[in-house]
Amino acid sequence: LPEATPAWVWAEELAGPGARVTLAEEDSRYVTRVCRARLGETLALTDGRGGVARGRLETIQPRAVIRIEALEHRESERQGVLLCGAAEGIRFDWAVEKLAELGVTRVRPIQCERARWDKAALRADRWRRLARAALLQSRGSFLLEVGAPEELADALAAEAAPALGVLADPEGRPTAGLAAPDSGTTVGIVGPAEGLTDSEKASIVARGFVAITLSGSRLRTETAAMAWAAWWAGGGTSQSRSKAESATS
């Protein structure tokens, strides 16, 4: 059913109906080798910034060229932002993939008193590739952004006044019965494996963050990041559901 479920493809820049978009080399290969799209086939394109287009594949070589038939700009109605302490080794790789699949907006790696991100663990290029692949896989339109490491205080200042701020803490309140807001920005904080210090926790709580506990068991940093993302994603389901209902009624 190629027409019913067109391949979901990355385009750096989109354009309006009638225009032609030439894909980058890597994305052209993805169209021909992974999606095995044929000339004349319909494709869906996203720029990862809310732009989604539909078009037909006109040329394959040397690059894929798609003639745009429809273009829409989606608004992001809810944002999930995670401030995350250093994970061990390359363990954060798969968290990036999973956070992107779950639709998280932004990750800010934070430098904490007890642990700093190791240069080897910061793999910006790899993370961007993983996030992009996950975006296409989940047919999303907003690319997960992973920032450069920054101090906790700076990250907190940059994410001032969220709709809700939560701190993952084994002593926190249960997440059962606490839904993530279905609009606006929800900010989560997950400490490094070594934990946050009392003064770091105090500075977070002083900004109105609520301490929540994600699980009865002790979680690794990347597992807590993922559990937070799942909790956040669950908060958006009531909205998706009501949209789906209104679309079919």
Segment 136 to 195, residues that bind its own copies, using CB under 8 A: 137-140, 171, 173-177, 179-180, 182
**Structure token digits, residue 229:** 């993302």
Quote the CA–CA distance of 212 and 224 in Å, as a whole number.
11
The one segment of 56-64, 148-156, 183-191, 227-235 that binds its own copies by CB under 8 A: 227-235
Question: Are 125 and 148 spatial neighbours (Cβ–Cβ below 8 Å)?
Answer: no
Question: Are 16 and 26 spatial neighbours (Cβ–Cβ below 8 Å)?
Answer: no
Q: Which C-beta is closer to its own copies: that of 64 or that of 180?
A: 180
**DSSP state letters, 105-147:** -EEEEEE-SS----GGG--HHHHHHHHHHHHHHTT-SB--EE-
Segment 88 to 117, residues that bind its own copies, using CB under 8 A: 94, 98, 101-103
Q: Which C-beta is closer to its own copies: that of 147 or that of 172?
A: 172
Q: Are strands 210-213 and 184-190 parallel, antiparallel or unpaired?
A: unpaired
Q: Which C-beta is closer to its own copies: that of 197 or that of 237?
A: 237
Q: How many residues bind its own copies (CB under 8 A)?
A: 42
**Residue 223 touching its own copies (CB under 8 A):** yes
Which class for 242: exposed (0-12), middle (13-18), buried (19 or more C-beta within 10 A)? exposed
Write down the least CB distance from residue 180 to its own copies, Å.
7
**Contacts with its own copies, residue ranges (CB under 8 A):** 94, 98, 101-103, 137-140, 171, 173-177, 179-180, 182, 212-220, 223, 226-227, 230-231, 233-241, 244
